[in-house]
Structure 1
Amino acid sequence: MSEAVGNASLLVAILTAEVADKALSIAEREGIRGATILPASGISQQPIKVFFGLTFQTAMTLLFWIAETDTANRTAEVLKQELNLDSPQQGLALTLTIDQLHGLNLKRPTPN
């Protein structure tokens, strides 16, 4: 199946592992089912935590959802509000417009 150009978006969230489950619940509540989840690590401008000479990096999770653009944008806004993404070191959420989408039909089947 192909979606119309501009009707689908990729919602990406890069979050601490502690809030990944909450993000999945938020997305489901907003109408997005299914996600791709990847463990991640990164390098930021903030120093890595050092404790007794050992360095620690916060575990991160990458979450990817494909949804209709309005749903993806609304969900990104809810993620920002409920996960406090405007605060430093909380993570981020972004949406990207998908030009072509094959193999996934975002339209819900109509009941007979």
Structure 2
Amino acid sequence: MKFKIILAPVKPDKTDPIVDAAKKVGATGATIIPARGTGMREAKTFFGLTLEDQTDIVLFLLEEHLVEPVMEAIQTAGEFHKPGTGIAFVLPVENVFGMESQIEAFKEKVRDSYF
């Protein structure tokens, strides 16, 4: 079974809608990493201190066949068509350990759908 990672650095108010949308189309969960980021817009300053925007990095480890539906769902939920809301991109995964229980559950689900 092949896996890929979707990474989506997003504004914190978009995190929950993105995770919920991904779960509706088959993602089993997500890892959320708090981060800071800068984009094309200049960072705001206050008395000489730079204020960086808070960002969440939402990470999905998915079976390859789920990547396209999850990307479509998070693009819509995250409102990526609006400037400054976030982005998403996909990376290949070489090896995965610790997913055995999810792989077995997936195989059972597929087997049950045929019978």
The TM-score bracket by the shorter chain reads 0.7 to 0.9
Residue 35 of structure 2 is aligned to residue 40 of structure 1: yes
Q: Work out the number of aligned pairs and report it.
A: 107
Aligned counterpart, 1:83: 78
TM value normalised by structure 2: 0.77
Q: For the residues of structure 2 that align with 1:21 and 1:87, how far apart are their CA atoms?
A: 17
Letter in 1 for 2:16: D
Q: Please give the TM-score of this superposition, normalised by the length of structure 1.
A: 0.79
Specify the code of the residue in structure 1 equivalent to 2:32: I
Cα RMSD (Å): 2.3
Identity, % of aligned pairs? 22
Greater relative CO (CA pairs within 8 A, separation 6+) = 1
Q: Distance in 2 between matches of 1:109 and 1:69?
A: 14
Distance 2:17 2:40 in 1: 26
Note the residue ranges of structure 1 that are not aligned, 5 or more in a row. none
C-alpha displacement at 1:17, in angstroms? 0.5
Q: Which residue of 1 aligns with 2:10?
A: 15
Q: 1:51-105: CA deviations, max 9, x gaps? A: 6876533211011111111212221122123322133211111111212112213
In the alignment, structure 2 segments of 5+ residues that lack a partner are none
Do 1:40 and 1:61's aligned partners in 2 also have CA atoms closer than 8 Å?
A: yes
Q: Confirm or deny: 8 A CA contact 2:14 2:77 kept in the other structure.
A: no
List structure 1 runs of 4+ shifted beyond 4 angstroms. Answer: 50-55
Give the number of the structure whose residues are more often helix, by fraction: 2
